[in-house]
Amino acid sequence: MHNHEDQYETYEEGNAWITPVGSCRIVHHDCPTKEEIKQRVTEVLNEIIHDTAFEDDCPLCKMMKDQPYEVVYTCETSCDVCKKAKICRNFDPNSKSDEFDDV
């Protein structure tokens, strides 16, 4: 496991990258940069702190609110055609470049 500066770990699980945040997990099925991961962690933490992750008038949300949950980010490009896929599969959050324009 690799520690980020903000002490949130991102690790590989199957064909996804996982970032545990509190009682939930951020599942990255795309090729996020370190900055994108930090932004996602910030967004999830804000939802947890401000209690905005679930709608108040939704019965399913009320049940899920007290359970661990996952926030999933998917990629619109199939890994078969994505130029980043090989890099993403070998992802090291501490060494991955934040720019892939030349890939």
The predicted pLDDT at position 80 comes to: 65
Q: What pLDDT score does 97 carry?
A: 43
Query: What percentage of the chain has pLDDT greater than the value 70?
Result: 67
DSSP secondary structure, the chain, as one string: -EE-TTS-EEEEETTEEEEEETTEEEEEES---HHHHHHHHHHHHHHHHHT-SS-TT-HHHHHHHTS-EEEEEE-SS-TTT-TTHHHHHT--TTT--S--TT-
The model's pTM is 0.66
Determine the Cα–Cα distance for residues 6 and 8; give it in Å rounded to an integer. 6
Question: Tell me, what's the pLDDT at 87?
Answer: 56
Q: What is the mean pLDDT of the chain?
A: 75
Q: What is the pLDDT of residues 2-43, one digit of tens each?
A: 444 455 788 888 778 899 988 889 998 887 888 999 999 999
